[in-house]
Amino acid sequence: QDYFHCLLCTTEREEFIVPIRAIGARAVLDFPDQLDFSVCPVKYSTQKTLMVRNLGNRDARYQISTQSPFSVIPTMGTLGIGDTLQVTVEFHPLQTGDHSKTPLCFVPGEDTHTSLRGSAVNVHIRLERNSVTVEQTYITLSNQSTVRIHNHSNVTARFQWKAFATREEEEQVKQRLCHRLCEQENARADNFLEWSRADTTRGERLSLLSHIFQSERAEVRGDPMLFFDDIFTIEPLEGEIWPNSSAEISVIFSPQEARVYKHAVYCDISG
C-alpha cells in the first residue's frame, strides 16, 4: 500500500504544506501483456510456458484464473523476491473459430491482466466413408466390415466412438442418471429408516448407503459415454492415430433376429 500525507507548517508570517509520500513494499510479476496461440487444431491441447519473475520487493501470494478454452497451472502459490515461476497456459478449444480471454493474476495490492488469444481450425483428419454396410449373416453368427480413419495432419489424433453426437447431449443424460440415483438413494433411505427404527447402528449403515450412491454418481459423471450396443460392436472403441497414419476400425454385426438393423455412432476425434 502506498501512503500520502500533507504536513501543514505554520510560522508567524506564513503557512506552507510539506507533502510526504511513502511507497509500500509490493510484489511485481512480469506477466506479458498478451499471449497468442495463433492457429491450433480444434479439440486438441496446445501449451505455452511462461517464465514469470517477481521483480518487486516483497513475496507475492498470487492467484491466477481464466476461463475455458484456456487454463493455467499453477493457479495459486507464493513467489519470493527475485524468484522465477514456470506458468503453463493451455489452449483446448472444443469449437472452431477465434477465441480470446483475459486471465487475471491477483497479488495483494496489484492486479495483472494478460490477453490470451487463439484460433481453432479443422485439420486434415477424416473418415474413409460416412456409412458402413455389413453383409447379411445368420442369427447367432456374426459378420464384420471395416472403416479407416485417415490422419493426414502433423498432430497425434485421439479418437473415441460415442453414443451421442455432442457433449451437451452427454451431459443431459448424465444429469438424468444422477437425478435417478438421488431418487433411488432417498427411497432406499426412507425404507431403511422404517425397517430399522430400533437398530442402534442405522446411522453407520445410512452413511455407508450414502457413500455407495456418491461413488455411483461419480462414476456416471466420469463416464466417457462410449458407444455400446447388443447388435453392433466397434473395435477399438478408442485410441490414437500417429501423424500421417491411419487406423482400421472393425464393425461387427451380431443379429438376434431376422430383420434389417440400423444404428448411428459418432466419432469424436481431436483435430
pLDDT 10s digits, 12-45: 889 999 999 988 878 888 888 888 999 999 999 9
Q: What is the pLDDT of residue 39?
A: 93
pLDDT digits (tens, 9 = 90+) for 229-266: 889 999 999 999 999 999 999 999 999 888 899 988 99
Query: Which comes out higher in pLDDT, residue 102 or 90?
Result: 90
Q: Is it the case that residue 210 has pLDDT exceeding 80?
A: no
Chain centre to alpha carbon of residue 71: 8
Q: What is the pLDDT of residue 192?
A: 61
Sheet holding 266-269, edge to edge: 238-241, 157-162, 266-269
Confidence of residue 48 (pLDDT cuts 50, 70, 90): very high
- Single-letter amino acid code for the residue at 263: H
Q: What is the pLDDT of residue 202?
A: 58
Q: What is the pLDDT of residue 193?
A: 58
- Single-letter amino acid code for the residue at 60: A
Q: What is the pLDDT of residue 164?
A: 86
Chain centre to alpha carbon of residue 250: 30
If you average pLDDT over residues 173-199, what whole number do you get? Answer: 70
- φ and ψ of 9, to 5 deg: -100, 125
- Single-letter amino acid code for the residue at 173: V
Residue pair 80/49 in contact (Cβ under 8 Å)? The answer is no
Q: What is the pLDDT of residue 8?
A: 93
Q: What is the pLDDT of residue 4?
A: 92
Query: Which comes out higher in pLDDT, residue 88 or 178?
Result: 88
CA angle, residues 201, 207, 208, in degrees to nearest 5: 90
Rounded distance between C-alpha atoms, residue 58 and residue 270, angstroms: 44
Pairing mode of beta strands 115-121, 245-253: unpaired
Q: What is the pLDDT of residue 201?
A: 61
Residue pair 34/117 in contact (Cβ under 8 Å)? The answer is yes
Rounded distance between C-alpha atoms, residue 44 and residue 122, angstroms: 10
Q: What is the pLDDT of residue 199?
A: 59
